[in-house]
């Protein structure tokens, strides 16, 4: 059995090592869109006291109560229905 090298395959083309892609004036550019809701959220400034209050509520299990979970579920279901 004789095995021929890759260079014998007419479908295989060696890539040129010196070719560089040049940007054309019409080439697509990356872009980002930020919603107005995201802009509003970015403006919120939480004080260190408020953050500490939230952390203590989380560690104390405040958000695991049935009352809080019911409110969260209600708001989620309202958002889904919209």
In-domain check, residue 19: no
Question: Which residues lie below 8 Å from residue 12, measured CB to CB, with a gap of 6+?
Answer: 6
- 74 is written with which tokens? 């209600």
Residue 79, domain extent: 47-82
Number of domains in the chain: 1
In-domain check, residue 25: no
Q: Looking at residues 69-82, what average pLDDT do you find?
A: 92
Looking at residue 69, the DSSP 8-state letter turns out to be H
Are the beta carbons of 39 and 33 closer than 8 angstroms? no
35-62 per-position pLDDT tens digit: 999 998 888 877 889 889 999 999 999 9
Are the beta carbons of 62 and 68 closer than 8 angstroms? yes
pTM of the model: 0.40
The dihedrals phi and psi of 20, each to the nearest 5 degrees, come to: -125, 140
Q: How confident is the model at residue 6 (pLDDT cuts 50, 70, 90)?
A: low
């Amino acid at each position: 059995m004789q095995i021929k090298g890759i260079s014998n395959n007419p479908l295989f083309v060696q890539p040129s090592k010196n070719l560089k892609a040049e940007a054309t004036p019409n080439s697509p550019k990356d872009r980002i869109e930020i919603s107005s809701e995201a802009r509003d959220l970015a403006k919120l400034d939480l004080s260190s006291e408020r953050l500490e209050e939230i952390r203590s509520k989380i560690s104390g299990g405040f958000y695991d109560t049935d009352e809080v979970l019911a409110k969260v579920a209600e708001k989620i279901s309202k958002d889904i229905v919209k």
